[in-house]
Each structure stands twice: as C-alpha cells, then as structure tokens.
C-alpha cells in the first residue's frame, strides 16, 4: 500500500485560495499545517511539535480520550435533534445550570457562540421591547448579521448597526483601579443617553466578561457592578458572554461573571463546551424568556443533539476529575509571575495581567507614554511560532499577546513558553524575530 506524499504549504495555500476564496484568514506569516493534537501539543505535517498557548476551544486538551470516547460511543448509538425526547440533554442542562446562580433556570442549546449571542439578543428584545445594544469599542461577539454589526473588532469596513453604541473598554493599564468601575459605568450611561436621544431604548449590555478582544481586562473583580446597575435602571438586560472566559478559565470561578458578584439576565456559552465539538448555548432567567417563548418557537437542528451533549458532559467530567479550575489558578499565577520577571529584563513589556489561564502581555514602545508596539508584537507572535509556541495578538492596536492555553497547561509548559518569549524578545530587540 502506497501513501500519497504530504502536500507542501505552497500547494495547500494555492488550493485553499482556489476553493475557499479570499475571505478566510490564516495565523502567522508562515502558516502552520497541523495534522494531530494531544493535550497541550499540536503536531505539524513536517514533524514539528508546537506548544499550544492559544486554543481554548480544546479546553481540556486536544483529543482528550474521555471526550473522544464519549463522542464515539454516542455517535454509534444515536444522533438526532431536540424535537424528540432524549434524557441526556436534560441531564446535561441540569448539570450545567447547577454550576450557575439559581436564578438562571433555563438552558437553550446552539452549535456556535455566534448563534448563542444571536439568540440572546432576540430574547432580550422580546423581553424589553427595545432594540438598543451596548458593547465595548473593540468587542467580538459573533459572525451572524446581527452580531457582526455589534462586533467592532471585525474591522473598520464592518458598519455598526444604528442601534449599537460602543463604550471604552475598562483598560486597567491606563485607568486607576479605584476609578475603573466608575469610568466604565459613565461610558454605559453616556451610551444609554445617546440611544435615548435618537429615540431608542437599551435592550442589553453585552460584554465578554474578560474583555478578551479589547485587550484582556480582569481586575479588580467587581468593576462591572455599577455599569450593570446603570443598564438595568434604564430597563435593559445584562448579557454575559462567557464563550471565552467560561468553564473555569479564570481560575477563580467556573464563570467569569461570578468574579464580579453579578447574576446576569442571560449567559451565553460556546467554544470550550465540547472540546472542539460544536456545542454552545445559553442560560437565561425564566421570566426573561417568557415573552420570546410566547412570540416564537425555537428550533435548532444540531443544537443540543445527543453527540454534542455527550461531549459536553465529558468535558464537565474532566474539569471536575482533573481539578482544572484550580490548575488554571495555580499555573496562571506561576505564568504571570514568570512573565513579570521577564518584564524586568525587556522594556517592550509594559503590562502583564489576567486571571487564571487567560493572560495578557501588553507590548509598548515607551513605558512612560504606554504607546502600543504593534509591529513588534507581530514579530513576537511569529517569532514564538518559529520557536515552537503558538500564541496570538489582541487589542485595538494588536499589541497584546493573548495567552489562552488548554486548561491542562502545566507549570513546566508555562516555563517553556516564558523561555521562548525571552529568546524572541531578545531577537526582536536586535531587529529580528
């Protein structure tokens, strides 16, 4: 039996352009051709092994055996949709809701975080009979038509909806901690006032509770409280987008909103729920869902199907059995300490922040002026790739290194990452990468 030779990157790029078209984007100046994943490692076609410091989709590690077996076992038995009775979706919903405040009494399932956020907006509009939406200045919430026009991070050519208002992100690097909550709340009040000046009422404040696209801002806990109260005083709902911060990533709680002592009206969930299997959804307070349920029936062919639910149950199993929330806190603290030590040797590092295994390293050209070092960050991300570490950039100026590894990341993995970053920063300082 003969095997076909592995196609070159050049051949794959040409095929990709021909069949997928020009709208897709790839990571890195030299794209990575991956063929296998295991735990925190990704393996390329050329045999290179990469430390994955970026993918929260594989939340409990790439190809985790318990999740793989659960998916295979259920796929061999039955896969259908939620218009038939099936016990597993009920067991999963009960287990998921039990991790949240009791007021969040209903769960609904989708395939993607975009769908979950889209559904949350529909529910919010039905409940409030309003249309106004408030998001942060560089937010990302999804790719449906409704979410794209509320996701400024998609680019300058994506026009925001006439009903959408943006507020400055709670930038803890440039705003004093004691003022952060008040400044963010003032922004939300100004957005409410502007909506009302245009004859609109706010339906919702929608935020990713770690503000990952805005640059990752997690501290101090509780800074969201005043803004949420301002929104509720104006008749709107608080939607906590937990697609990225959820399922224990912050290390302090299973859900990012819990760090702020808040109970959202709606919580949206996505990426990490199925460890790579397309599973997403939302939790909602029952009174908030009533109007939508009267006005519209909900159906999603694949949302909450038995195979997806099996994946979701297996992910929760692994998080509990391997104590991954505590691991995120312990390893994340170690990682931030090592990165802070690195900052004492490399002037490009302006700030190290984050919670658990959601960590930001902000690069600046001038620490005093805190000017974004965007070009250098691009070189750093590609330099890390050259040294076998996969990471990404975030923030309005793309000058923040985004570290968001699988929750099984270890202190040894963190030390490898820091060593690679140390080498990369030294190379970038001398004009290389």
Cβ neighbour number for residue 379 with a 10 Å cutoff:
19
Report the C-alpha gap between 368 and 375 in whole angstroms: 19
Domains and CATH numbers, the chain: 9-60+323-429 (3.90.1150.10), 66-321 (3.40.640.10)
Q: Quick one: CA dihedral 210, 289, 126, 222, positive or negative? A: negative
Confidence bin at 283 (pLDDT 50/70/90)? very high
Model confidence at 94: pLDDT above 80: yes
Question: Measured between alpha carbons, how far is 279 from 304 in angstroms, rounded to an integer?
Answer: 7
- Could you tell me what percent of the chain has a pLDDT over 70? 99
pLDDT at 433 (0 to 100): 85
In this model, does residue 279 exceed pLDDT 60?
A: yes
- Contact assessment for residue 227 and residue 198, using Cβ atoms and an 8 Å cutoff: no
Average pLDDT over residues 249-264: 96
Indicate if the pLDDT at residue 1 is higher than 60. Answer: no
* pLDDT at position 156: 84
Is residue 375 scored above 80 in pLDDT? yes
Res 250: pLDDT: 97
Average pLDDT over residues 205-214: 97
Report whether pLDDT(260) > 90. yes
Question: Residue 2: pLDDT band by 50, 70, 90 thresholds?
Answer: low
Residue 275, sorted as left (phi over 0), alpha (psi -120 to 50) or beta, turns out to be left
More confident residue, 5 or 72: 72
Range with the poorest average pLDDT among 3-7, 123-127, 396-400: 3-7
Which residue, 71, 127, 82, is CA-closest to 307? 71
Return the sign of the alpha-carbon dihedral for residues 364, 365, 369, 371. negative
Report the chain's C-alpha Rg in angstroms. 22
Q: Look up residue 324 and give its two tokens.
A: 């991954």
In angstroms, the CA 425 to CA 417 distance is 12
8 Å CB contact between 281 and 117: no
Give mean pLDDT, residues 160-168. Answer: 97
pLDDT per position as a tens digit, 310-350: 999 999 999 999 999 999 999 999 999 999 999 999 999 99
Q: Which pLDDT tens digit goes with each residue over 9-65?
A: 889 999 999 999 998 889 999 999 999 999 999 999 999 999 999 999 999 999 999
pLDDT band at 113 (very low <50, low <70, confident <90, very high): very high
Q: Which two tokens stand for residue 339?
A: 């990165």
Task: Give me the pLDDT at residue 123, please.
Answer: 98
| Residue 9 confidence (pLDDT) | 84
What are the distances in angstroms from CA 326 to CA 93, 136, 237, 250? 24, 30, 31, 10
The whole-angstrom separation of Cα 170 and Cα 285 is: 26
Mean pLDDT of 397-424: 98
pLDDT over threshold 90, residue 87? yes
Average pLDDT value over all residues in the chain: 96
Query: How much is the pTM?
Result: 0.96
Task: Give me the mean pLDDT over the 61-90 stretch.
Answer: 96
Q: What is the largest CA-CA distance in the chain?
A: 72
How far apart are the C-alpha atoms of 190 and 156, rounded to whole Å? 22
pLDDT (0 to 100) of residue 157: 86
Instruction: Give the containing element (helix H, strand E) for 333.
Output: helix 324-343
pLDDT of amino acid 4: 64
């Amino acid at each position: 039996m003969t095997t076909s030779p592995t196609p070159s990157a050049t051949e794959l790029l040409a095929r990709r352009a021909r069949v997928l078209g020009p709208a897709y984007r790839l990571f890195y100046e030299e794209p990575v051709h991956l063929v296998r994943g295991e735990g925190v490692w990704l393996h390329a076609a050329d045999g290179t092994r990469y430390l994955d410091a970026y993918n929260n989709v594989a939340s409990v590690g790439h190809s985790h055996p318990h999740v793989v077996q659960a998916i295979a076992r259920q796929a061999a038995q039955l896969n259908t949709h939620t218009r038939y009775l099936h016990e597993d979706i009920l067991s999963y919903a009960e287990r998921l809701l039990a991790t949240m405040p009791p007021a969040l009494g209903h769960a609904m399932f989708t395939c993607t975080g975009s769908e979950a956020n889209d559904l949350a907006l529909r529910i919010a509009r039905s409940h409030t009979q309003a249309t106004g939406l408030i998001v942060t200045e560089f937010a990302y919430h999804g790719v449906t038509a409704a979410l794209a026009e509320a996701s400024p991070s998609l680019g300058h050519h994506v026009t925001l909806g006439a009903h959408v208002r943006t507020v400055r992100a709670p930038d803890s690097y440039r705003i004093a901690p004691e003022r952060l909550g008040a400044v963010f709340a003032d922004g939300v009040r100004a957005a409410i006032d502007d909506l009302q000046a245009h004859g609109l009422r706010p339906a919702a404040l929608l935020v990713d509770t770690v503000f990952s696209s805005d640059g990752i801002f997690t501290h101090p806990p509780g800074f969201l409280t005043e803004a949420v109260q301002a929104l509720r005083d104006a008749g709107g709902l608080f939607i906590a987008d937990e697609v990225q911060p959820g399922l224990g990533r912050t290390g302090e709680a299973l859900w990012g909103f819990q760090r702020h002592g808040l109970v959202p009206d709606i919580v949206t969930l996505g990426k990490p729920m199925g460890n790579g299997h397309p599973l997403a959804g939302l939790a909602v307070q029952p009174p908030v869902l009533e109007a939508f349920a009267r006005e519209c029936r909900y159906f999603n062919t694949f949302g909450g199907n038995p195979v997806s639910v099996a994946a979701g149950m297996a992910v929760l199993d692994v998080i509990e059995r391997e104590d991954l929330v505590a691991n995120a806190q312990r390893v994340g603290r170690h990682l931030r300490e090592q990165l802070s030590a690195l900052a004492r040797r490399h002037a490009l590092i302006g700030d190290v922040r984050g919670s658990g295994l959601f960590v930001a390293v902000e690069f600046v050209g001038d620490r005093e002026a805190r000017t974004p070092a965007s070009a250098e960050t691009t070189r750093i991300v590609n330099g890390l790739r050259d040294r076998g570490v996969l990471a990404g950039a975030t923030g309005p100026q793309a000058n923040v290194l985004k570290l968001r590894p699988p929750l099984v990341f270890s202190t040894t993995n963190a030390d490898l990452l820091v060593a690679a970053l140390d080498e990369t920063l030294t190379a970038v300082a001398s004009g290389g990468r």
